[in-house]
Amino acid sequence: MKNVLWIACAVIFLGACTKKENINEFNSSPGSSETGKLISNASDDWVWITNEQQVEVFNPATTTWNGSPIWQWKPEAAKSYTPYAISKWDGATDFKLRNVTRWGGNCFVSCSVQGLATIATYPSGTKQWAYSVGNKVYPHSVELLPDGNIAVAAAAGNWVKVYTSSTTHVDDTTNCKFNLIGAHSVLWDPTISRLWCIGNDYLKALIVGGTSSAPTLTEDINYTVSLSASATIYGHDISPDLNDHNIIWFSTNHGVYSYNKSTHTVATAPGSLGGKWFVKGISRQNSGIFVVTQADSFKSPFPSGGIDNNNDTRWVDFYTQAGAFSYSRTRTNAVIYKGKLFRSSYN
């Protein structure tokens, strides 16, 4: 494994569619939604959230998200999901919009800790492929590969699998597996043609080999990052940098970081963002604004009306390019596990 240089301060160990507007920035504590000075972000994306049983999409330029979402979805009989598939849904842990020829263009993948992983058309939400990947394996992330196969990361299953969903067999469950303790996130990287994944101890890039009907997964050790090198173990999420395809962003129990694929170095995210614990979702707009979902239990001070369960939040928080908290968005009684950019491109 290539040595990785960590550029970070020491941290304390703890186990375990485009809009054309400006949005408002203000300086206050996370959980606020008042307006202040304007930030220009004409090329920025909408944001999806996992809110209880639904995936919902909102425009961050809208100061209140209490109205109807731009788009919303959950598996239902009217969308061709069986009662069994619906029973394996307990709200989403991940969602990715993609454009893949095998599935007719615009489509998406989503998963739930109850076990369901699925591919559906967008915007109809009609099921194309669905499978319960196992009892109590707790799928936390999904990705749709360019060939139409679905990748799943299961936190308690301790694996990343690629299912041969692209074949002509209905709900084909043939798969290959890569063992990864605490697997929490997967992301396809077209720049290096690798499948990124993060678990308790490592950030890894996997080579998806073989064929679409008989895939294989092999670690590319050139990109392996030992998270324990700086005591920032227990990975949560991975996202691309839209302005620099050489950079990916990831979060752990102890902070938010960037990884440089050329220099193989890790750097702490700028400003106060870098030290945020238990960030469940991290992504970055074209404008440089960070979109963040952090479990309320680990915000200081604990926000009034927050959720004290170590996983969820009422708010999606937005941070400036410099990593300073800027503003939040919420909807009444929201229970948000993750919120990220709503875009179909991989990077």
Residue-level pLDDT, tens digit, the chain, 347 residues: 444 434 433 333 333 333 333 223 323 344 444 333 334 365 799 999 999 999 999 999 999 999 999 999 999 999 999 999 999 999 999 999 999 999 999 999 999 999 999 999 999 999 999 999 999 999 999 999 999 999 999 999 999 999 999 998 888 899 999 999 999 999 999 999 999 999 999 999 999 999 999 999 999 999 999 998 754 789 999 999 999 999 999 999 999 999 999 999 999 999 999 999 999 999 999 999 999 999 999 999 999 999 999 999 999 999 999 999 999 999 999 999 999 999 999 99
**Cβ(148)–Cβ(168) below 8 Å:** no
Domain assignment present for residue 16? The answer is no
Domain count, the chain: 1
Domain assignment present for residue 158? The answer is yes
Domain assignment present for residue 23? The answer is no
How far apart, in Å, are the Cα atoms of 252 and each of 36, 65, 124, 331?
31, 28, 34, 26
Domain assignment present for residue 15? The answer is no
Range of the domain at 121: 45-342
pTM, full prediction: 0.89
Residue at 133: amino acid letter: V
Domain assignment present for residue 67? The answer is yes
Question: How would DSSP label each residue in 277-313?
Answer: S-EEEEEE-TTS-EEEEE-GGGSSSPPTT---SSS-B
Measure the CA–CA gap between 44 and 343, rounded to whole angstroms.
Answer: 10
Domain assignment present for residue 7? The answer is no
Question: At 79, is the secondary structure helix, strand, or coil?
Answer: helix
For residue 319, give the CATH number of its domain.
Answer: 2.130.10.10
Point out which residues pair with 170 in neighbouring strands. none
Which DSSP helix (H) or strand (E) runs through 237?
strand 235-240
Domain assignment present for residue 40? The answer is no
